[in-house]
Amino acid sequence: GQGLPPLPALAACPRSAPMNQLTYYALCLAGGLLLVALVSAGITWLMRRREQALVLTEALNRHAVWVAAQRGGLALDLRREEADAALQLASAVQSRWFGRLGPEFGALLAIDQRIEGFLLHQQRLRYDDPEAWIESDHDGQFMALWREYVVAMEALTIRLRRATGERTGAVREGAT
């Protein structure tokens, strides 16, 4: 059996062999650099995403502080602009970085709208008919809405932690 032709000798192309080896090393180096760049971009994206999660959480907390302050005072205009700005920032971050949190964020916004409507109604009632306002159990109704708000905020926070890969329960609060 002489079915296979002989392989060409490398000596027939003396310059091509070192060039192929150099090309091979250059391609390996370029591939390695590309891999490092991709890993670096991935890590940067993850870090930026976690940073944006903190921005979202901080904005939601600023808004929640305003909502909680409405329990007793009915001072709707006091610091309302800050609360609205915080909610707008939270909305922008959520839609850009955490689109899958849309349902939870929408539920929180819906409860916020109900709270604002309730507060406006109570404010009008307080000025137009103080007796009806006193009998309306303002505090009890507000606290029921506040509990819904807290549940929605917790649901959003849990989903946000999952979305950023944060492990819940890894460190217990108050543990030494």
Q: What is the tens place of the pLDDT at every residue in 44-63?
A: 999 999 999 999 999 999 99
Please answer whether residues 57 and 98 qualify as being in contact, where contact means their C-beta atoms are separated by less than 8 angstroms: no
pLDDT per residue as tens digits for the range 164-174: 987 765 444 44
Please answer whether residues 52 and 101 qualify as being in contact, where contact means their C-beta atoms are separated by less than 8 angstroms: no
Provide the token pair at 164. 């950023």
pLDDT at 14 over 90: no
Provide the token pair at 124. 């009008």
